[in-house]
Each structure stands twice: as C-alpha cells, then as structure tokens.
Amino acid sequence: MMFGLRDTFEYFECHRCGCLQISEIPVDLGKYYPPEYYSFWRPRIEKPNPIKMLAKMYRLRHFLNDRNLVGLVATKLKGPVLLPGWLKKVNVTPKSRILDVGCGYGNLLNRLRAEGFSSLLGIDPYLPGDEIYENGVRVLKRRLEEMKGEFDLIMLHHSFEHMPDPLHALVTLSGLLARDGVMLIRIPVASSYAWRRYRTNWVQLDAPRHLYLHTVESIKILANAAGLQPVDIEYDSSSFQFWGSEQYERDIPLNDPLSLSGNAGSPIFTQEQLAEFARGATELNSKGEGDQACFYIRKQPPARPAVL
C-alpha cells in the first residue's frame, strides 16, 4: 500500500510472544524497494572545514555531557546540537566507533558527521555499490555476515524488521559489539494499540518489506538466545500510526496525491483530527503502547564461576 500496488500477503502470529511473521518471503522482494523508497534518498553533504569541525567536536562533547568551555561557547554562538536525544543515553564520544546497519545512503551517518562524530560506517545490501563520502563517512554494499571489526555503538533504525533471520542477525551483531558497547534497535512493534485497532490496515505492517513485526516479548526472547539483554525501552511512535492507518482503511496509499505524506495540508483530515492524532501518540508512548520503540541492548554480563 505504500506505493499503491495492493498486493496481498499472509502473516501468522506467534501464540507465545505475539510476533507477526510473513508466511512466505516474495521471490522478487526487490520489486518492493524501488528507487523512490525513502532509504535511498541521497544525503546533502557538508564540505569538511577543519576549524569548523574542531569547534563542532567540542560542541558535541558538551552535548554528550562532557562539559567544556569551548563547547559551551560554540553552543551559544551556533545553537544546540540537532541530534536525537538517545545519543546521550548510549555513552558515546565523538570518536566512538559507530556502525549503522541498513542505512541506505547514510543520511543519519552524515548528520552525525556534520555534528562532529568521526568514526562512522554504514552497510546496506540493497545499494548499487559502495559510497565513500568526502567527509570521511563510508557506506558499503555489504551483508551483515560479511562484516568484521568491533563497534561501540551499533544502530538498526527500522532495518531489523526487514531481516529474514532475526536470531542469526542478533548473534552476528553480538560478535561485532564491543564488550561495553550498546546496540540500538528501533522498530515498529506489534504489541501496540495500533495493531489491535487497525489490524491489516496498520500502516507499519508495511507488507511485504516488514518480514517480522516484533513485540517486546519476542525481542527479549531473541536477545536472550543471542547472549544479549535489553536494558531499556523507549517508545517513540508518532501520529503516523493514526493518519497512515486511517488512509489505508480508506484505500489511500502513502504515495497518493491525496495522502498527507508529502503534503503540508491534507484534504482528508482536519487540523483538529491531526492534533488529536499527535496527542494520541504522546499518550500511547507514555503508556508503553506506541507502535514503535527503541530498544537499548547490551551484552549479557559474563557468568560468575560457581562457588564450591
């Protein structure tokens, strides 16, 4: 429904954990990742300037709770760092080794570089080839199984649900994660009000690209099997869960001229309805019922030797 193809697919729901899984992965899955798919939008690159980058690095340190005078002055002169708040929760530094899995052309990585991060790598198997940017960001056409190295932060922003073997993926990711590192998995979750309310019209079901729609319970089961453990969950759903699903109920794809997607206004919804959707998303997030969440995952601590 994103592109109005209206193809149909069968999913089944796990009785134990509630995870939704596609019954059969389409042979030609690439058909559903056309060039206009949002992950393939190319980023705008800021030309590196050594003096500016040094000032940004100090401002970034200040943002990451490493308070310093240069960073304070740079913040007052240039304004605050415009990056997601979850960066403060993962204990990274400007030099932390960061891997973005399923990053498309690396839009987020280039935002991080523009704000002062320096060791940035992305992988995506659907790219036509490697992208080495002038600012030092590298985005490689790689499958997860081809990766080597160790990273302080591994990010999967709405890519984990596209993976055909999530347990194997987590085991592989665990091998790439530094002992004190953090894995950040942001995904739509089926343990949500939106799935219960809209069912097959839930916009984040996004068949057939989303092979799995996980729940909090399914992530806990998978993490434990891979030697990992979720240490925090933060719900970050938006009004999209409402207006996107309402459009699907009316048989209106996201790329339709009537769609709110890409339009400043909407002939479908009133401003009052849109405001109510936004309030509803905030309320659901506060109750742990939003339709997408950010999982903070670490390696399980080493087992203590038995005392005889």
pLDDT at 264: 62
Question: Has residue 12 got a pLDDT over 70?
Answer: yes
Taking residue 23's Cβ as centre, other Cβ atoms within 10 Å add up to 8
Q: What is the mean pLDDT of the chain?
A: 90
Q: Identify the three-state secondary structure at position 278.
A: helix
Residue 132 inside a domain? The answer is yes
Interatomic CA distance for residues 151 and 225, integer angstroms: 21
pLDDT at 122: 97
End residue of a domain, out of 105, 124, 151:
151
pLDDT at 308: 63
pLDDT at 32: 86
Interatomic CA distance for residues 175 and 196, integer angstroms: 36
| DSSP per residue, 95-151 | T-EEEEET-TTTHHHHHHHHTT--EEEEE-TTSSS-EE-TTS-EEE---GGG--S-E
Residue 288 inside a domain? The answer is yes
Residue 26 inside a domain? The answer is no
Biggest distance spanned by C-alpha atoms of the chain = 72
Let me know whether 143 and 168 are in one domain.
no
Q: What does the H/E/C string look like for 28-86?
A: CHHHHCCCCCHHHCCCCCCCCCHHHHHHHHHHHHHHCCCCCHHHHHHHHHHCCCCCCHH
Question: Has residue 247 got a pLDDT over 70?
Answer: yes
Let me know whether 70 and 173 are in one domain.
no
Question: Has residue 8 got a pLDDT over 90?
Answer: yes
pLDDT at 179: 94
Q: How do residues 132-167 score in pLDDT, each as one tens digit?
A: 998 899 999 999 999 999 999 999 999 999 999 999
Let me know whether 90 and 57 are in one domain.
yes
Question: Has residue 91 got a pLDDT over 90?
Answer: no
Let me know whether 203 and 220 are in one domain.
yes
State percent of the chain over pLDDT 90: 64
Q: What are the counts of helices (DSSP H) followed by strands (DSSP E) for the chain?
A: 8, 11
This prediction has a pTM of 0.88
Read off the pLDDT of each residue in 17-39 and give the average, rounded to a whole number. Answer: 86
End residue of a domain, out of 100, 118, 151:
151
Let me know whether 253 and 143 are in one domain.
no
Let me know whether 136 and 234 are in one domain.
no
Question: Has residue 301 got a pLDDT over 90?
Answer: no
Residue 118 inside a domain? The answer is yes
Confidence of residue 188 (pLDDT cuts 50, 70, 90): very high
Question: Has residue 73 got a pLDDT over 90?
Answer: no
Confidence of residue 289 (pLDDT cuts 50, 70, 90): very high
Let me know whether 129 and 166 are in one domain.
no
Q: Identify the three-state secondary structure at position 82.
A: coil
Read off the pLDDT of each residue in 231-242 and give the average, rounded to a whole number. Answer: 96
Interatomic CA distance for residues 177 and 179, integer angstroms: 6
Among 74-83, 84-93, 105-114, 265-274, name the one with the lowest average pLDDT: 74-83
Question: Has residue 176 got a pLDDT over 90?
Answer: yes
Read off the pLDDT of each residue in 21-28 and give the average, rounded to a whole number. Answer: 93
Let me know whether 167 and 280 are in one domain.
yes
pLDDT at 227: 95
Q: How do residues 33-53 score in pLDDT, each as one tens digit?
A: 877 776 667 777 766 667 777
Confidence of residue 209 (pLDDT cuts 50, 70, 90): very high
Q: Identify the three-state secondary structure at position 213.
A: strand
Let me know whether 144 and 165 are in one domain.
no
The structural domain count of the chain equals: 2
Read off the pLDDT of each residue in 211-217 and give the average, rounded to a whole number. Answer: 97
Let me know whether 192 and 295 are in one domain.
yes
Let me know whether 176 and 67 are in one domain.
no
Let me know whether 86 and 121 are in one domain.
yes
Read off the pLDDT of each residue in 287-297 and give the average, rounded to a whole number. Answer: 97
Interatomic CA distance for residues 268 and 302, integer angstroms: 55
Q: What is the CATH number of the domain that holds 183?
A: 3.40.50.150
Confidence of residue 63 (pLDDT cuts 50, 70, 90): confident
Residue 245 inside a domain? The answer is yes
DSSP bridge pairs for 177: 151
End residue of a domain, out of 134, 151, 168:
151
Residue span of the structural domain in which 125 resides:
42-151
CA angle 8, 9, 13 (to 5 degrees): 140
Question: Has residue 24 got a pLDDT over 90?
Answer: yes
Picking from 139, 222, 152, the residue whose alpha carbon sits closest to that of residue 187 is 222
